[in-house]
């Protein structure tokens, strides 16, 4: 519906104002060719004018060839591209260019997953069973922290697969990690007026943007071979540390037990110090045993654990979980218990069955095998570069971190790849703070999850040709 600001005090008739607005929108391309206009009756009702007023405006537009009337169908925009003025045409082209993303034959996205093997049949079956049970309660508001059965399923899964020590009362279910990070930011600000979050550098920049957007003071801490630097953390003045210890994002560093214990000691030194453990990509490890969660080592309620089903199942399943220590849980209940659950109870019921009936574990095992196959293919394909590349973070997750020993900047390497229809993602984009004067070899995050094995092989071959031919 058109939002037309009509001036009833103007000497210009109302029908003329409507006519001029629609004409200008058509000429600028805002109302495109073949778009259907609102009926005269509905537009008159919306604008609170007489239907005759809209009829007169439409009649004038028909007379001038801007729109046409189709019997028993309505009014449609005519093709008038040649009438666009040059400034308008340039503006429209610019808008369309911004809206159209370039197509790449090979997109090595570190954010993608393999959606081609989503368990459609199982999901359809569980969805049907949930709705066929005539459970009317699913259409009512449930528990504010998430349905009890769902939280029990999450608690059991986290304990068995990640070593997380908690009960269902400590779990808060929310619509994805972004929502839960926003909630957590509010909670931490209520905990301390001088809340300051230290973040790994490089890091998961979405979390950084969320914290900064909510006015939380942040600082960045450099990494070494064991993860976040404890010495720099102690000097930062931060009371919260945001870490990804089981598979550091994006470098893939696994924090060893000695560094984990040092991090817990830092948190225990002062009151109101906490660690946020983002267990990113923890489900996918290809060498050795799974790395237990840092939260499982915590004896004093200092670790806030956050996870999501988006990477393990599908991005559109916006369901995550937050495990709060008892002290923060009490603060949450006293200050933020007015929040209702942001996840549909139907989705919660489906996921409860998916986890409890063993489908989730089988799906993870299947995807772990598929991803390891792609992971191994990518490592083998990169051997074409010989000593020109170094690889890290290669035993877990859904991407490799590849440093190219070439006389190119990261931007130049990405640009050359783009000319060969290859989309690459530079490490530089994951830094909160970056020293431009420091020598920096181009480093790329090569994701492989949503590429077929032959696409991985051909993509790397084309990349080699783009850089050396």
Judged against a pLDDT cut of 70, whether residue 86 lies above it is answered with no
Give 108 or 82, the one with higher predicted confidence.
Answer: 108
Tokens 């939260």 -> residue: 295
Max CA-CA distance within the chain?
80
Which region among 13-27, 131-145, 174-188, 193-207 has the lowest average model confidence (pLDDT)? 131-145
pLDDT tens-digit profile of 20-61?
Answer: 999 988 888 888 888 999 999 889 888 888 998 999 888 888
> What's the pLDDT band for 78 if we cut at 50, 70, 90?
confident
CA distance 58 to 77: 11
Whole-number pLDDT of residue 288: 73
> What's the pLDDT band for 88 if we cut at 50, 70, 90?
very low
Which region among 39-48, 53-62, 119-128, 285-294 has the lowest average model confidence (pLDDT)? 285-294
Task: Give the tokens for residue 150.
Answer: 């769902």
Whole-number pLDDT of residue 272: 92
pLDDT tens-digit profile of 226-262?
Answer: 999 999 999 999 999 999 999 899 999 999 999 999 9
Q: What are phi and psi of 322, to 5 degrees?
A: -125, 130
Q: What are phi and psi of 70, to 5 degrees?
A: -110, 130
CA distance 283 to 404: 28
Whole-number pLDDT of residue 63: 82
Please report, in angstroms and rounded to a whole number, the separation of the first and last CA atoms in the chain. 55
pLDDT tens-digit profile of 186-232?
Answer: 999 998 888 999 999 999 999 999 999 999 999 999 999 999 999 99
pLDDT tens-digit profile of 408-434?
Answer: 999 999 999 999 999 999 999 999 887
Tell me the pLDDT of the chain averaged across its residues.
Answer: 89
Whole-number pLDDT of residue 87: 44
The pTM of this model reads 0.77
Cα dihedral across residues 385, 388, 394, 397: positive or negative:
negative
Give 301 or 103, the one with higher predicted confidence.
Answer: 301
What is the average per-residue pLDDT within 60-67?
86
> What's the pLDDT band for 435 if we cut at 50, 70, 90?
low
Tokens 């989705």 -> residue: 347
Neighbours of 312 (CB within 10 A): 18
Residue 48 contacts residue 8 (beta carbons within 8 Å): no
Residue 330 contacts residue 302 (beta carbons within 8 Å): no
Task: Give the tokens for residue 405.
Answer: 């020993």
Domains of the chain: 14-96 (1.10.10.10), 106-116+362-468 (3.90.1150.10), 120-360 (3.40.640.10)
Give 282 or 467, the one with higher predicted confidence.
Answer: 467
What is the average per-residue pLDDT within 302-328?
92
Task: Give the tokens for residue 317.
Answer: 């399943």
Judged against a pLDDT cut of 50, whether residue 286 lies above it is answered with yes
Q: What are phi and psi of 242, to 5 degrees?
A: -100, 115
106: which strand partners? 422
Judged against a pLDDT cut of 60, whether residue 101 lies above it is answered with no
What is the average per-residue pLDDT within 64-87?
74
CA distance 412 to 406: 11
CA distance 18 to 2: 9
pLDDT tens-digit profile of 346-405?
Answer: 999 999 999 999 999 999 999 999 999 999 999 999 999 999 999 998 788 899 999 999
Q: How many CA atoms lie within 13 A of 428 on its CB side?
A: 16
Q: How would DSSP label each residue in 378-424? A: HHHHGGGGGGGEEEESTTBSSEEEEEE-SSS-HHHHHHHHHHTTEE-
CA distance 392 to 267: 29
What is the three-class DSSP state of 205? helix
What is the three-class DSSP state of 146? coil
CA distance 395 to 264: 25
CA distance 157 to 171: 12
Share of the chain above pLDDT 90, in %: 62
Residue 347 contacts residue 317 (beta carbons within 8 Å): yes
312: which strand partners? none
């Amino acid at each position: 519906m058109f939002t037309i600001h009509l001036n009833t005090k103007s000497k210009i008739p109302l029908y003329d104002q409507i006519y001029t607005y629609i004409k200008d929108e058509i000429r600028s391309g805002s109302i495109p060719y073949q778009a259907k206009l609102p009926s005269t009756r509905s537009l008159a009702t919306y604008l609170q004018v007489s239907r005759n007023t809209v009829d007169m405006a439409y009649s004038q537009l028909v007379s001038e060839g801007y729109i046409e009337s189709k019997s028993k169908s309505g009014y449609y925009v005519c093709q008038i591209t040649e009438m666009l003025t040059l400034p308008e045409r340039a503006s429209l082209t610019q808008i369309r260019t911004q809206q159209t993303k370039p197509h790449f034959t090979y997109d090595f996205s570190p954010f993608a997953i393999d959606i081609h093997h989503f368990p459609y049949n199982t999901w359809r079956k569980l969805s049907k069973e949930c709705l066929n049970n005539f459970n009317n309660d699913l259409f009512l508001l449930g528990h504010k922290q998430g349905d009890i059965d769902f939280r029990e399923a999450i608690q059991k899964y986290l304990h068995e697969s990640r070593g997380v020590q908690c009960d269902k009362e400590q779990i808060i279910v929310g619509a994805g990690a972004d929502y839960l990070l926003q909630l957590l930011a509010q909670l931490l600000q209520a905990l301390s007026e001088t809340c300051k979050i230290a973040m790994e550098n490089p890091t998961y920049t979405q979390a950084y943007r969320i914290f900064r957007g909510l006015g939380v003071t942040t600082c960045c801490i450099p990494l070494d071979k064991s993860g976040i630097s404890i010495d720099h953390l102690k000097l930062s003045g931060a009371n919260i540390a945001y870490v990804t210890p089981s598979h550091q994002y994006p470098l893939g560093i696994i924090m060893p037990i000695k560094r984990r214990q040092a991090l817990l000691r830092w948190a225990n030194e002062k009151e109101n110090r906490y660690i946020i453990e983002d267990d990113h990509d923890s489900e996918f490890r290809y060498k050795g045993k799974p790395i237990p969660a840092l939260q499982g080592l915590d004896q004093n309620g200092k670790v806030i654990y956050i996870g999501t089903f988006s990477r393990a199942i599908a991005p559109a399943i916006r369901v995550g979980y937050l495990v709060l220590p008892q002290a923060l849980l009490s603060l949450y209940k006293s200050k933020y218990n007015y929040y209702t659950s942001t996840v549909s109870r139907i989705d919660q019921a489906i996921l409860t069955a998916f986890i409890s009936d063993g489908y989730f574990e089988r799906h993870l095992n299947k995807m772990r095998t598929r991803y390891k196959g792609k992971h191994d293919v990518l490592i083998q394909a990169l051997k074409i570069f010989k000593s020109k590349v170094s690889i890290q973070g290669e035993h877990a997750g859904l991407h490799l971190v590849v440093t190219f020993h070439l006389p190119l900047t990261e931007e130049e390497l990405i640009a050359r790849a783009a000319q060969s229809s290859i989309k690459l993602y530079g490490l530089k984009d994951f830094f909160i703070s970056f020293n431009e004067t420091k020598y920096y070899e181009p480093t790329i995050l090569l994701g492989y999850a949503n590429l077929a094995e032959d696409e991985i092989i051909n993509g790397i071959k084309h990349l080699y040709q783009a850089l050396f031919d």
